[in-house]
Amino acid sequence: MSIGRTILLKMADSPFLNRQASQRAFVKRATRRFMPGEAPEDALRAAQLLKAEGRGTIFTKLGENIEVPADADAVRDHYLWFFDQLATSGLDGHVSVKPTQLGLDLSYDRCLEHLLVLATRSEAIGKIFWIDMEGFVYVDRTLALYRALKERHPRVGLAMQAYLYRTQADIEALMDLNPIIRLVKGAYNEPSSVAYPVKADTNRNYFDLSDRMLQAAAAGRCTPVFGTHDIPLLDRLVARAKAHGAPDKGYEVHMLYGIRDADQRRLRSEGRTVKTLISYGSAWYKWYMRRLAERPANVGFVVRSMLG
Ligand SMILES: Cc1cc2nc3c(=O)[nH]c(=O)nc-3n(C[C@H](O)[C@H](O)[C@H](O)COP(=O)(O)OP(=O)(O)OC[C@H]3O[C@@H](n4cnc5c(N)ncnc54)[C@H](O)[C@@H]3O)c2cc1C
């Protein structure tokens, strides 16, 4: 892992820097590259523009590791409100949540209750309900939550991380559920005891896991979603999908708002199903630091924003 990435991911966990950065207008300005605005209405408006280009949307309200149960209740209620907006929006829009935003640090059972309420509502309006994957310490519990949800609600998807050694076995174990899996490389600061320290190994694992999922997709036993901006990798996967006979609609590509936008449009025009993940909300610090860590050159945007 590069030194720049390690430092930025360590800074992501600092409550002091969180307080400092969140108060600085120039940092807030710099976040606009990756989010259309803090209000949910900003996200919905941006999604309408993407819809005109044939792109769908995944929405996520920023925030994680909440510390009091009332905050988890408020997040659940926010998403219930958001589902009402989605139901009348005409958007191909879906919601993705973080388990620790719904209180996983406080109570597994209560978190599952919240997720079940949201998955039920999501299903009722014909959407896929997504669960993000957070740091390594949450993987076992998140997999258990996914299994409990997927057994009751078929249209629930899970993010899984190619940088973890365990992910190959975890994907195999989920195959009996006909899973919907968004494969990502992984955004957290994990030790080499659990995650590939060298990027090339993560990339190789990403390709192998995707290939396996495409094979299962061709047999109707998995819906793979490629959550990456790695264009050469995606182009190889599109070719593998054809070789396996996976239908064009049998897999999707998801990318983040503001990243590789021209490639998102190109993939869409070539017939791929492309969805753009839009984040909103005021708790952007940790999430934004992870975006900087993915490409330390992005720190230049913060500096330029400071200079106006
Ligand atoms: C839809 C979606 C959902 C995600 N959900 C999760 C999740 O639940 N859990 C999790 O751990 N991670 C999640 N991630 C983040 C993911 O793990 C990676 O950290 C992130 O996608 C960067 O890796 P990459 O696959 O794009 O490949 P990389 O090899 O890192 O990047 C490939 C190319 O993409 C461009 N790029 C990538 N990141 C940036 C950036 N921040 N700014 C500018 N250009 C960039 C660059 O041109 C780079 O060369 C998600 C990512 C996406 C797209």
* pLDDT tens by residue, 126-164: 999 999 999 999 999 999 999 999 999 999 999 999 999
Phi-psi region of 5 (alpha: psi -120 to 50; beta: other; left: phi over 0): alpha
Q: For residue 290, how far is its CA from the centre of ligand 1 (angstroms)?
A: 9
Q: CA dist 189 to 15, 136, 244, Å?
A: 16, 9, 34
Q: Counting atoms of ligand 1 from 1, which one is nearest the CA of 186?
A: 17
Q: What sign does the CA torsion over 184, 164, 206, 263 have? A: positive
What is the three-class DSSP state of 166? coil
pLDDT band at 77 (very low <50, low <70, confident <90, very high): very high
Q: Which domains does the chain show, CATH number per domain? A: 36-283 (3.20.20.220)
Kindly report, residue by residue over 178-203, the tens digit of the pLDDT. 999 999 999 999 999 999 999 999 99
Q: For residue 185, how far is its CA from the centre of ligand 1 (angstroms)?
A: 7
- 129 touches 122 (CB < 8 A): yes
Using CA atoms, how far apart are residues 286 and 101, in angstroms rounded to an integer? 13
- In this predicted structure, what is the pLDDT of residue 301? 66
Supply the pTM of this predicted model: 0.93
Q: For residue 259, how far is its CA from the centre of ligand 1 (angstroms)?
A: 9
Using CA atoms, how far apart are residues 84 and 89, in angstroms rounded to an integer? 9
Q: Which amino acid residue places its CA nearest to atom 35 of ligand 1?
A: 229
Q: Counting atoms of ligand 1 from 1, which one is nearest the CA of 277?
A: 1
User: Ligand 1: residues whose CB is within 6 Å?
Assistant: 132-133, 159, 161, 182, 184-188, 227-230, 254-256, 259-260, 277, 291, 294-295, 298
Q: Does the pLDDT at position 120 exceed 70?
A: yes
Q: Which amino acid residue places its CA nearest to atom 22 of ligand 1?
A: 294
